Structure 1
C-alpha cells in the first residue's frame, strides 16, 4: 500500500505518516522507484499510534511500547508494559500538577498579602 492509500484508509495526512516513519513508529519499504510501500498491517498500526498519541504519549514512548503484544493480539490497551508506562506517566503528571498547584497557591497568597491597600474614605 502506498502512502496516499494509507492516508485515505486511515484519515491521517501523508505528512503525519512520514513523521511517524521518521520517529521510528511506522515502517515502510522503499521500492526501486523510491516510493514507500506499507504492509497490510499499516492501517492498524496507524490506528494504534493515533490512539496512543490521543492519550498524550510522546512518540519516544510509543516507539518503546508499540511492539508490545497483549494476550488478545496487538491491542495496546491490554499490554502490561504499556499499562505500566501509562501509569508511570500519569503519576509523574499528577506530581507535576500538584507542584504547579502549590506554586499557584503560593503566588496567590503573595499577591494577596502584598496588594496595596486602598485608602480609607474621605
Structure 2
C-alpha cells in the first residue's frame, strides 16, 4: 500500500509516517516509480508508534516494544520489551495517581467557592 492508504487506514498523517520511517520505526520499500510501499503490518505498527508517542514514551521504549513484536525476535528482545512495558505501566499508574490527586484538589476548591 502507498503512504496515503496507510495514512487513511492507520489514522497517522503522511508527515508522521515519513518521520517514523526516517527514525526506523516503520519500514517501507520503494516501488519503481519511487513511491513508498508498506506491507499490511505497517498499519498496526504505525498505530502503536503513534499511541506510544502520544502517551509520552521515549523512542528507546518504543523501539524495545517494536523489536519484540516482529517475527523471529530474540529472547533478549522479549526480555527488554517486558522490562520496558512494565516500566511504561508503572509510569501510567504514577500519572493516574497524580491526576487523581490534582482532581481532588480542584474538586475541593470548587466546593469551597
TM-score by length of 1: 0.58
Runs of 5+ unmatched residues, structure 1: 71-78, 95-122
Does residue 1:8 correspond to 2:8, yes or no? Answer: yes
Report if the CA contact (8 A) 2:2-2:38 is conserved.
yes
1:60 CA drift (Å): 3.0
2:102 corresponds in structure 1 to none
- Larger-Rg structure: 1
Residue 52 of structure 1: SS of its match in structure 2? helix
Residue 45 of structure 1: SS of its match in structure 2? helix
Runs of 5+ unmatched residues, structure 2: 71-77, 95-113
Q: 2: CA distance between counterparts of 1:83 and 1:54? A: 20
Query: How many residues were matched structurally?
Result: 84
Q: Which runs of 4 or more aligned residues in structure 1 lie more than 2 Å from their structure 2 counterparts after TM superposition?
A: 79-83, 86-91
1:25 CA drift (Å): 0.3
TM alignment of 1:1-122, pairs within 5 A = 1-69=1-69, 81-88=80-87
Q: For each residue in 1:67-119, what CA deviation from the matched residue of structure 2 results, as whole angstroms up to 9, or x when unmatched?
A: 2149xxxxxxxx6533312444657xx7xxxxxxxxxxxxxxxxxxxxxxxxx
Q: Which has the higher contact order (CA 8 A, sep 6+)?
A: 2
Q: 1: CA distance between counterparts of 2:64 and 2:79? A: 13
Report if the CA contact (8 A) 2:64-2:80 is conserved.
no
Structure with a larger share of its residues in helix:
2
1:48 CA drift (Å): 1.5
TM-score by length of 2: 0.62
